[in-house]
Structure 1
Amino acid sequence: MKKTSTPLISGQYFRNRLGLAAILVLLLLLVVLARLLDLQVLHYQKFRQLAHDNHVALVPVNPPRGLILADHGQILAQNQPTYAVEVTPDQTSDLDSTLDRLQKLLDLSDGDMARFDKSMAAKASFDPIILKANLSPQQVAALAVRKADFPGVRVTALMHRNYPFGALFSHVVGYVGPITAADLKRHQAENYRGRDYIGKTGLEGHYEQRLRGQMGYQIKQINAEGLQVGTLEEQEPLAGDNLMTHLRLRVQEAAANALESNHYRGAVVALDPNDGHVLAMVSSPSFDANWFVDGISTAHWRSLLDNPGHPLTDRADNGLYPPGSCAKPFFSIQAIQSGVIGPDFQTYCPGNFQLGGHTYWDWNRGGFGETNLTKALAWSVDVFYYKLAVKMGIQLQDQTLWRFGFGKSPGIDLPGGLAGLVPTPQWKRAHLHAPWYTGDSVILGIGQGYLLVTPLQLARAVSAIANGGYLVQPQVAKEWVNPSTGERSPIPNAAPENLHIDPVALHAVRQGMEACVNTGTCHTVSIPGISIAGKTGTAQIPEGYAHGRTIYNNDSLFIGWAPVDHPKIAVAVVVENGGHNAWQALPVARATIAAYLQPDRDPGPPPAHLHLQH
């Protein structure tokens, strides 16, 4: 029988397959070895860090924000413990569904959801974003029992900023709000995280860095289920320092009540005229600073925007007004010191002043007859100052205003602060394309025309008359207080600027301003037992145009100080749209002065109202 070769073929085939398999195994081993080399040698540090991060979590710890206090210790801004629900978008499998379910579970408003959307648009997806702060116990419990249903959502404890006096100090103390990308450009980003608050306005904004403190951290150990099981390392946060201010609660309340009880729009600034310490700073109407802490709701924001009183405007240092007759004392000092007139100068007031065919009327069209400086200030005689303006000319008028701090920011320790406008011939040519006329100087001589000042500038300027000729720099903050040790660090004031006012000129003007309170247009501001010097002002404000004529309303102003010889308080008051008299500012000033100098006494009714215009 013939032999077959099949077994030989089968054996060769088996050996070929075995060799191929060996080659494949060898290749796989080489791949594994290459991968091990990549993981354990070439990229060791990278994957070591990733492995570490997979079982630890860095948890930032916010520092307690420093308190803000009034001079006698009343708390103006504080921290309250609260709970909030926060969402980390990139940790949720379906963000829209998660938000819908949270809205129903926690009974959240559309405003809450809109604020979340706005915050999310400004932050990275890995940043936790507060959906709702100030959770009720019921809301916290509802989330706790359904925690597993909401990945990327957690309840966290926060220190919530609170303003106990609501609207009373909103403009000067300011408020905090959720941090934005724009905020981080102005501050140290490493000291903040996605859900932080930051000072936006007022003292909160100006002193943000020291009020904020320094953030701490915890390195938490995480198990395979993502739960925190221990703390590996911890750095305690450094609390922000407490800020003590010069603000006096009773004075602030008195000024605000005097404005608000009469539904006045306006501002009050009260300074210690000797050093510029701010005793009160009121702008009315105001707003509740608590509305802004978690991001203001649409309804609240719309109510502020639609309010014709513009409550968001800080009238005290950002409201611009013609000073009216409140400018007259400053022109008087400069005119005497420059030799334009002597302290005994007098002129006749027939009730009007003629210049270039134009008639400039006095507020008292019957005239005042022979008028010296004391009478001119006491009764605010316009004709006296029309004539004085012509004698001085625009260059000396401008020098006067700049000398007393108008036309430049007063340098207060608050964000903003307008410089106002001191008009010059150059300014008029550049902005109105017209030359400066003598008539412009005449109107400027009674504080009208293009001149614009702030109440803060007026308070600062009148302080220089009160204190003997020194221009102070206003300051709200008094000292820092370490919350742990109680150590106090005074915040220094800038030294007052010596204006080198001629004592003769200063005495003559002070005499006229004291007469203004004792017998003149300021009579209703007087308080028994307190000597006061002051000056009223009425500023015409154009409101419209009808029947070929401009329609005006009048702002009512007052500047003054008390006591006359040993000044402790200087006040500037502006009441907008007071009508045709100047008396509206007087009871406001009277209440403010009395609250500081007679804190435990009722100043009694004001003297009989004189119905005066200036």
Structure 2
Amino acid sequence: MRYRKGDGERSGLFTRRSLLLGGAQAVLLSALAGRLYQLQVIETQRFSTLAEENRINLRLLPPSRGLILDRSGQPLAVNRNNFRAMATSDRGRGIDQLVERLDQIFSLGEAEKTRLLRELRRSRNAQPVVVRENLGWEEVARLEFNAPDLPGVFIDLGQTRDYPEGELMSHIIGYTGRVADEDLAGRDDPVLQLSTMRFGKKGVERSLEDSIRGRAGAVQVEVNAVGRVVRELDRTEGQPGSNALLTIDLDLQRFVAERVKEHQSGSVVVMDIITGDIIAMVSTPGFDPNTFARGITQAEWRELLDSPERPLHNKAIAGVYPPGSTYKMVTALAALESKAIEPWTRLPCAGHLELGNIKFHCWLRGGHGSTNVVEAIAQSCDCFFYEAARKAGIDRIADVGNRLGFGRISDLGLPGESPGIQPSRSWKQEKLGKPWQHGDTFNLGIGQGFMNATPMQLAIMTARIANGGYEVQPNLLLASATPREELAPPKPRDKPTAPSLRFNPQHVALIREGMIQVVASGTANHLRLDAKGKLVEPQFRFAGKTGTAQVKRITERERDMGITQDQLPWHLRHHALFVCYGPVDNPRYACSVIIEHGKAGGATAGPIGRDVLLEVMKRDPSRRTDGFRKMASR
């Protein structure tokens, strides 16, 4: 066989290619072996952990929300068990199909479908989100029947908020709802990221949110490939939120609500003038907070918003009204403190007072003649207070008004409280860009014009006058404690510990005497008799001040025609006001009443204030401590 030159060249080329290919294969095999070594030996712990995390989920458990109780330990906000459908996402895969399937089972509606899609896509670490709460047995059975076709969907037993008293306590307790973005501001609690978590939206639920929310627990569960829980591995229970004992006396709250229910809209506040405890606070009409706990519908929400009676509006702290003649105590005290008048000073009333070409009328057409400050308060003489206001001046009146609680938010702590308006020179210049006029002072002297106040502020004013001029602040919380924490009831207090407002005690005593005469012989002398027509017992005698606040200005033509309040539409009628305190010999409680468009303070608001105050004095809730024992035993 003859050797050819080309064969050697081809053989060398083949050998070189074989070597190159073999070398490449060796490099690849070495890289593969190195990678396998890295994965199986060097990083075995890391991937073991990742695999374990795919198999085991750590889920936060919402804590049990603290209870809210009245001062006697009766429940106002509690928790009840709640079956709910939950779903977990598989890193975004198949979410749309899952939601469509759930819609077929529960008829979710477009709004709920959008919400569910958003929460499933945002869910971290396979944390479950709520599909629907408060499931009935039929819905539970339907979901269990379809369970094989619903990966990651399961039924959970949770808790939902329940409000046993419903509308009665709605404005005080408020309600809870889903956590919104604005609720997270300044809070880094991871439990708030849970879709099952509820957050206080109004009332005490909101103001005490951070203390009654509690601390989250955690549960370790083993899941299969589709995210369904196989078994629970470990559980750490959370810490329940603190229970809250309120100053409200539920039985008195019921009495007050029953007393004002015949009127379309109004508010009553009862306050302990020594401790500042709010014993009752009613705003009508109210709403049922349980509709928010179970999930309010769009139709229900729109009905509440569109109601002309504003049931969502807590009139006790957010409703602002001209205080009318109830403000005359401020004018009188300012005039006395500034020495613009003396206790014996008498001012004339001919039925009207003229300022330029404007007449300022007294409510009594013929006038009251000559009166001193006590008589003027008792008879509510407008002309006396026009002149007293002119003599005292706006600066002194505004100062006394501020010290008695007007024009500022109180320390009550409920969200949504209005500061009202205590007008002054600087206020008018800043808000309206106009200087203060003498006519403004006349209007302010009788609680009209720019002046407005809340029922809470009127109760505070009355309490500070009744206790001798001490800066008592309203309070809604008697105690807050975690379950089984030892509680000792506070010792009863009979003397104010608040700082003095530095009024002359003799001047405050004169104002109180004027209020006593209002009921004894003045504009509310019919209130000396109780609802049964019997003279009020001496130990329950009380003092008060009527007020009728104009909603619209009465024209001269209307005065001449003698148009009555009954002839006007409801929304144009005067507001009826009454403030009172008692007992007169040893004051303990103050009460303010405002009936919207109630026409006349003495006739409409007065009897309500009398009945409420008599009931409070007879019960004397300041002496009750049984709520502390009940709270400590829960």
Q: TM-score, normalised by structure 1?
A: 0.89
- 2:545 — aligned with what? 535
Flag the 1:557–1:310 CA change in 2: closer, same or farther, 3 A.
same
Residue 273 of structure 2 aligns to a residue in which SS?
coil
- 2:500 — aligned with what? 498
- 2:585 — aligned with what? 565
Q: CA deviation at 1:502?
A: 1.7
* Kept after mapping to 1: 8 A contact 2:99/2:113: no
Q: CA deviation at 1:561?
A: 0.8
Letter in 1 for 2:59: V
Q: For 1:441 and 1:579, how far apart are their aligned partners in 2? A: 25
Letter in 2 for 1:536: T
Residue 567 of structure 1 aligns to a residue in which SS?
coil
1:544-576 deviation digits (Å, cap 9, x = unpaired) = 99x999x95311111111111222321111111
Q: For 1:156 and 1:575, how far apart are their aligned partners in 2? A: 47
- 2:354 — aligned with what? 354
Q: For 2:120 and 2:502, how far apart are their aligned partners in 1? A: 55
Residue 169 of structure 1 aligns to a residue in which SS?
helix
Q: CA deviation at 1:464?
A: 0.9
* Kept after mapping to 2: 8 A contact 1:250/1:595: no
Question: 1:385-464 counterparts in 2 under 5 A?
Answer: 385-464=385-464
Q: CA deviation at 1:490?
A: 7.3
Flag the 1:432–1:510 CA change in 2: closer, same or farther, 3 A.
same
Q: CA deviation at 1:404?
A: 0.8
Flag the 1:2–1:437 CA change in 2: closer, same or farther, 3 A.
closer
Matched, 1:240 2:241: yes
* Kept after mapping to 1: 8 A contact 2:335/2:389: no
Q: For 2:327 and 2:408, how far apart are their aligned partners in 1? A: 16
- 1:117 — aligned with what? 114
Q: For 1:100 and 1:230, how far apart are their aligned partners in 2? A: 28
Extract unaligned runs of 5+ from structure 2.
531-535, 560-567, 621-634
- 2:523 — aligned with what? 521
1:259-291 deviation digits (Å, cap 9, x = unpaired) = 22222x121111111111011111111111112
Q: For 1:492 and 1:409, how far apart are their aligned partners in 2? A: 27
Q: CA deviation at 1:318?
A: 1.2
Q: Which moved more, 1:583-592 or 1:457-466?
A: 583-592
* Kept after mapping to 2: 8 A contact 1:89/1:125: no
* Kept after mapping to 1: 8 A contact 2:324/2:447: yes
Select 1:556's aligned residue among 564, 571, 576: 576
Q: For 2:305 and 2:116, how far apart are their aligned partners in 1? A: 21
Q: CA deviation at 1:79?
A: 0.1
- 2:632 — aligned with what? none
Letter in 2 for 1:131: V
Residue 441 of structure 1 aligns to a residue in which SS?
helix
Extract unaligned runs of 5+ from structure 1.
601-614
Letter in 2 for 1:592: V
* Kept after mapping to 2: 8 A contact 1:413/1:477: no
Flag the 1:215–1:293 CA change in 2: closer, same or farther, 3 A.
same
Q: For 2:148 and 2:375, how far apart are their aligned partners in 1? A: 82
Select 2:617's aligned residue among 589, 597, 608: 597
Looking at secondary structure, tell me which structure has more strand per residue: 1
Letter in 2 for 1:74: Q
Looking at secondary structure, tell me which structure has more helix per residue: 2
- 1:88 — aligned with what? 88
- 1:579 — aligned with what? 599
Residue 78 of structure 2 aligns to a residue in which SS?
strand
Flag the 1:122–1:557 CA change in 2: closer, same or farther, 3 A.
farther
- 1:381 — aligned with what? 381
| Overall identity of the aligned pairs, in % | 34
Flag the 1:115–1:169 CA change in 2: closer, same or farther, 3 A.
farther
Q: For 1:323 and 1:393, how far apart are their aligned partners in 2? A: 19
Flag the 1:120–1:165 CA change in 2: closer, same or farther, 3 A.
farther
Flag the 1:73–1:505 CA change in 2: closer, same or farther, 3 A.
same
Q: For 2:101 and 2:611, how far apart are their aligned partners in 1? A: 54
Flag the 1:452–1:136 CA change in 2: closer, same or farther, 3 A.
same
Q: For 1:329 and 1:593, how far apart are their aligned partners in 2? A: 20
Flag the 1:124–1:398 CA change in 2: closer, same or farther, 3 A.
farther
Q: For 2:116 and 2:281, how far apart are their aligned partners in 1? A: 33
* Kept after mapping to 1: 8 A contact 2:176/2:205: yes
Flag the 1:453–1:492 CA change in 2: closer, same or farther, 3 A.
farther
- 1:605 — aligned with what? none
Q: CA deviation at 1:582?
A: 4.8
- 1:607 — aligned with what? none
Q: CA deviation at 1:495?
A: 5.3
Q: CA deviation at 1:460?
A: 0.7
Q: For 1:90 and 1:299, how far apart are their aligned partners in 2? A: 34
Flag the 1:304–1:418 CA change in 2: closer, same or farther, 3 A.
same
Q: TM-score, normalised by structure 2?
A: 0.86
Q: For 2:136 and 2:477, how far apart are their aligned partners in 1? A: 36
Q: For 2:171 and 2:509, how far apart are their aligned partners in 1? A: 36
1:461-517 deviation digits (Å, cap 9, x = unpaired) = 110111111121111011123323454697999952311222221221111101111
Letter in 1 for 2:519: V
Residue 498 of structure 1 aligns to a residue in which SS?
coil
* Kept after mapping to 2: 8 A contact 1:418/1:454: yes
- CA RMSD of superposed structures (Å): 3.3
- 1:156 — aligned with what? 156
Letter in 1 for 2:256: A
